[in-house]
Amino acid sequence: MTIGMTIKARFLLTITVVALLSCVCMGVYSYQNQSEQLLQRFENLADQENQLLRTILAADAEGLRRAASGLSRLEVFHAPLATEDRAALLTAAQPVFGELKAKHSITHMYFIAPDGTVLLRVHKPEQYGDSLERATFLQAVATKETASGLEMGKNFFSLRCVTPIQADGELLGYLEVAEEIDHVFVRMKEITGHDVALFLPMEYVEKFDTGLEVLDGSDFVALYPSSPQLVMSSDQQRNSLLPLGLKTFVVKAVEHDKKHYVVGAGPIQDAFGETAGVLLSRKNVTQHRDSIWHGVVASLTVFIVILVSGNLLLWLSMKKSMNFFLAVRSHIQKVTRTWDVDQRLEVATTDEIGELAEDLNRMQAEIGKLKNSLVRQTEELVVANQELESFSYTLSHDLRTPLTRAYAAADILVESYGDGLDETGRLLLDNISKGCQGMEDLIEAILVLSNIVRKDLHSESLDFAAMARDIVEELRMAEPKRKVITVIPETLVCTGDQQLLRVVLRNLLENAWKYTRAEAEAKIEFGIDEQQGKSVFYVRDNGIGFNMQHAANLFTTFKRLHDASEYPGTGIGLATVQKIILRHGGTIWGVGKEGEGATFFFTLP
């Protein structure tokens, strides 16, 4: 392994980098913190401007109320309004309206019939006969009292006041006076020195018949800006701020033409109680921004002094531990290269590195024990393998020799003296032959099971379906008179040791063949299924099945669930199958029911 920088070099480099990054972060934090404090100083800018607007509008609305109340009591309007005499009403109203417009900024004057039809627009006599659905008028009709509020006009926003006109307790109609609110924004700038403007969303403007123009790239219409170039840093910032201002009061810092401003936005409501637009205001804070940089430099200077002092103290406190860490490293290298776990490390510090050294000493002691245990287990494994080979040799030679002699002697007796034996003698010789054959099969099964444990796996791609058809064909040739329905897919590709997997498939298919012997319409099925996202192979039959209470004994050597005299076998087949599947990294299990057949499932990686 090639070592680049030492821990000490990395430690010093880290301290330097951390110091530099800390200075940068401190400068950024200080600048942002003071900028946020600047915003906090003006966090109520939008709310205060909104309150000022409402105050001025409330004062103007009160003036309109007084004017409307006085006008409604002029008897000169009563008779023409009652008879709906427009000419007489216009003659009486024009001088009054002229005086109100000149002295009190009232720009609109309406006379409205009780049913809501406009009888006369004094400011535009040629327009009449339409019905009103404005909120102020509807509120006055509903309450029979004077109502006022902001409402949208043709090309402007106006403050309107509607009052009922009555004579001798009879409702003659309604009088409406209104004023445009452009002068309100001029007064607001005179009071606060801030530029202000009203922005109406197109969604609101489109509800009315207006000729207002939309800002380029925006969904808002600007009304009554107190400055021809109301400061916003860009259209993008303006368009992101205005939608927020429709919902709540928002204050943000923006930059334009190398000057800094605080911009506030907040919603205003019309007479319907609906949010009509956004009141936008701005304040020049360029001088405040300049003072922020002086504060950042001062804070950064103090921080650098503290940081350098702290790093120096850190280095002095870590020096001993760093040297001891290098000693620990050298000791670990020596142990891993020589495996001399008996040598212990002398602990020189009481910090975490000292605890690490103590743990290392304890670990070396445990490794020494494990090393000795591993040596003993290796020796025991060598002896066990030798004993297994000796056992296999005994099975294949020493046990088979006397068995072969007994089998041969029984054959000679049958051939030479068979005619002279009675039925009992022939039965005994038959039992001897069958016993020898059964013992031969058992020895062969044990040898197969023993070889499986030691055999190396040779994985390859193979066609499981073709293998199954070959085995079934061999079973049919052994019992040609049996009629068994077999269901096997056209192809079924898997990966594994071909010889061992053939042993698996042969054992499972032979069991299915054997345990369906009593069925008139025997059926054996081999295939693949999907369970919990995994491919699962299965061998299914409709034979005698088994009791699931005994399923734990299925794969136990020499454990049988059925009578050996009726269903002969070695009792090792399923144990062999399980060993092979486990060696492949898979699992196997069986599901069955007495009299209804059994299914064996297994998986392969």
HEC per residue, 530-543: EECCEEEEEEEECC
Are 204 and 228 part of one and the same domain?
yes
Domain membership flag for residue 280: yes
Strands 522-531 and 484-487: parallel
Provide the 3-class DSSP secondary structure of residue 47: helix
Q: Distance between CA 5 and CA 27 in Å, rounded?
A: 30
Q: What tens digit of pLDDT does each residue of 390-404 get?
A: 665 565 555 556 666
- Please report, rounded to a whole number, the percentage of residues in the chain having pLDDT higher than 90: 14
For residues 301 and 255, membership in a common domain is answered with: no
Is residue 274 located within the same domain as residue 292?
no
Q: How far apart are CA 413 and CA 425, in angstroms?
A: 10
Neighbouring CB atoms inside 10 A of 287's CB total 8
- Is 184 domain-assigned? yes
Same domain, 19 and 130: no
User: Tell me, what CATH number does 545's domain have?
Assistant: 3.30.565.10
Rounded average pLDDT over 69-78: 89
Is 438 inside any structural domain? no
Please state which of the ranges 18-32, 128-142, 404-418, 571-585 shows the lowest mean pLDDT: 404-418
Cβ–Cβ < 8 Å for 572, 558: yes
Question: How far is Cα 153 from Cα 256, in angstroms, rounded to an integer?
Answer: 33
Q: 17 near 298, Cβ under 8 Å? A: no
Are 357 and 479 within one domain? Answer: no
**pLDDT exceeds 90 at position 432:** no
On whether the CB atoms of residues 109 and 123 are closer than 8 A, the answer is yes
The closest of 153, 155, 148, 154 to 177, measured between CA atoms, is 148
Distance of alpha carbon 449 from alpha carbon 503, whole angstroms: 10
Domain shared by 461 and 496, yes or no: yes
Last residue of a domain, one of 266, 284, 302: 284
Cα separation, 268 vs 278, whole angstroms: 6
Render pLDDT for 206-217 as a digit per residue (tens, 0 to 9): 777 766 666 555
Choice between 603 and 571, residue whose per-residue pLDDT is larger: 603
Beta strand 220-223 pairing with 147-152 = unpaired
Question: What is the per-residue DSSP string for 353-388?
Answer: HHHHHHHHHHHHHHHHHHHHHHHHHHHHHHHHHHHH
Task: Give tens-digit pLDDT for 338-383.
Answer: 777 777 777 777 777 777 778 877 887 788 788 788 878 877 777 7
Q: How many domains does the chain have?
A: 4
In terms of domains, do 153 and 141 share one? yes
The Cα 496–Cα 57 span in angstroms is 89
Domain membership of residue 443 (yes or no) is: no
Same domain, 51 and 191: yes
Q: Answer yes or no: is 451 within a domain.
A: no
pLDDT in the model for residue 405: 67
Q: Report the 3 state secondary structure along 81-99.
A: HHHCCHHHHHHHHHHHHHH
* Pairwise pLDDT comparison (150 vs 564), residue with the higher score: 150
pLDDT-derived band of residue 173, with 50, 70 and 90 as boundaries? very high
DSSP 311-340: HHHHHHHHHHHHHHHHHHHHHHHHHHHH--
- How much is the pLDDT for 539? 93
111 and 201 housed in the same domain? yes
Q: What is the pLDDT of residue 363?
A: 81
Q: Could you give the C-alpha distances from 412 to 389, 392, 402, 444, in angstroms and in order?
A: 34, 29, 15, 24
| Measured distance CA(232)–CA(228) in Å, rounded | 12
The answer to the question of residue 152 being in a domain is yes
Q: Which domain holds residue 310?
A: 7-41+288-331
Is the predicted pLDDT of residue 168 greater than 70, yes or no?
A: yes
Q: Which residue type occupies 351?
A: D
Q: Are residues 274 and 304 in the same domain?
A: no
Report yes or no: 52 and 279 within 8 Å, Cβ to Cβ: no
Pseudo-torsion of CA 369, 370, 371, 373, nearest 10°? 90
State the CATH number of the domain containing residue 238. 3.30.450.20
Residue 307 domain-assigned (yes or no): yes
> Is the residue at 156 inside a domain?
yes
Q: Identify the pLDDT of residue 537.
A: 94
pLDDT band of residue 164 (cuts 50, 70, 90) is very high
502 and 576 belong to one structural domain = yes
Identify whether residues 292 and 280 lie together within a single domain: no
Specify the pTM: 0.46
- Amino acid identity at 194: H
Question: Out of 70-79, 92-101, 162-171, 274-283, which region has the weakest mean confidence (pLDDT)?
Answer: 274-283
Distance CA 460, CA 476 (A): 28
Domain C-terminal end among 229, 256, 284: 284
Q: Strand 534-541 vs strand 588-593: parallel, antiparallel, or unpaired?
A: unpaired
Please state, rounded to an integer, the average pLDDT across all residues of the chain.
80
91: confidence class by pLDDT, cuts 50, 70, 90: very high
Residue 272 has pLDDT above 80, yes or no: no
